[in-house]
Structure 1
Amino acid sequence: MRQVLDLEHLGRQTMGDKVVEREVLLLFSGQARRCAEELAEADEAGRRAIAHRLQGAACSIGAFPVAAAGQALEGDPASDAYLATFRAALAEVEDFIRKLCA
C-alpha cells in the first residue's frame, strides 16, 4: 500500500503541533476539492495551472503522490491518463485527511 500522506514530514513542517497539523490538512483538503471541481471545466492551460498550483501545497504537507501526479499533468496537460491519476490522487488524499481529522 502506498503512502498517501507522509505524516513524519507533516510533523516536521508543523513542529509537531497537532492543532496546526489539523488546520493545514483541512486547508489543503479544501484547496484540493476546489481544484478537483475546476478540473471539470478546465482546458489544457487550466489543467497545467491547477496542477502547478497544487504541487507546492502538496509537497509542504507531505502529499507526495499528489505532487507527483500534478507534475506529470503539468508536463502533459492533454493527457487524460495523467488527469485521471491526478484526480485519483486528490480523492485519495482528501479521503485520508477526512478520516484523520474526524
Structure 2
Amino acid sequence: MPFVVIENCIKCKYTDCVEVCPVDCFHEGPNFLVIDPEECIDCTLCEPECPAKAIYPEDDVPAGQEGFIALNAELSKQWPVITTRQDPLPDAAEWDGKPGKLPLLER
C-alpha cells in the first residue's frame, strides 16, 4: 500500500520527506510533491517527516482527499524525481492548513 501526498502540500512543498525515502519515489512539481505508487515500498519513513501532515497511507487518506491517490499516480509519471531536501516555498507557513488549495496546483 503506497503513501499519498494530499492537498495540504500544495503551495507548501516541504521536502523533509524526500531525504528519508530509501527508494526515491518522490517527484517534484512547481508547488507540490507526489509519490510514485509503483516505487513506494510502504516503509513509513516519510509520513512523520512531513511538517504539513500531508502524507498518508493510501487506505487512510482523509475523506475528500481520495482524488489525490490518482493525482499522485498521474503526476509522478510527468514530474522529475527529487532526492534532496530543499527549502520550502517562501510562504509555506502561510499556506499550511488552508483548505481548498487544489485549484492552485501548478502542473
TM-score by length of 1: 0.31
Choose 1 or 2 for highest CA Rg: 1
Higher relative contact order (CA 8 A, sep 6+): 2
Richer in strand (by share) = 2
Richer in helix (by share) = 1
